[in-house]
Amino acid sequence: MAVTINASTSNGLVQTADTSGSIQLQSNGTTVATAQSTGFQISTYTPATSLITSGTAQATTSGTSIQFTGIPSWVKRITVMFNNVSTSGTSLVQLQLGSGSYTTSGYNGSTGNFTSGTPAATTFSTGFATSSGGSAADARNGAFTLTTLGGNIWVCTGQFSVGAYFTFGTGQVALSGTLDRLQITTVNGTDTFDLGSINILYE
């Protein structure tokens, strides 16, 4: 015997039996899913929103920091995308995470610049850096990928082209609470952004 469960707008929840050997889930008479011996089949599925949520792109043409706030507590992965981002000076561009306020210390990791010669690596403690050096004219293209281990611990990988260099970095930071914000700024905090844009994806 099988059971059809129909959420009807006029009769409420209705259960009817037949001999098909399956369980059907209906919405107002339309079957949306069927459970049977061979597996579970979804007949109709329309997600309310994308499984990956895009933030609003922000121009990096002025100011000393670019901030994204209101990140939901359920987020497990974030991608931070850079499009031709440059600054007025040579201070390293870095990504900082936060819970209520921004965490400015306790980052563990390093970033290296790669050319045809020996890579030049720099360790960091105040944020996740896009490179280990560069000039004011360098444009940064690439992305950071952040994932959580749970317990408010986040790990980061980043790959960028910065001027004549390809850069790669990894790192980790433990936040004081649930991540709800991030910002892109410089190590000295005074160099200003003068070109490009940044956006995030979260899931």
Alpha carbons 1 and 18: distance in angstroms, whole number? 6
**Which positions ≥6 away from 101 have C-beta within 8 Å?**
none
**pTM higher than the cut 0.85:** no
The domain limits of the chain are 2-42, 53-202
pLDDT tens track for 7-59: 555 555 556 666 666 777 777 777 777 777 676 666 665 555 568 999 999 99
Neighbouring C-alpha atoms within 13 Å toward the C-beta of 181: 15
DSSP string, 100-135: SEE--S--EEEEEEESSS--EEEEESSSEES-S---
Tokens found for residue 116: 């045809």
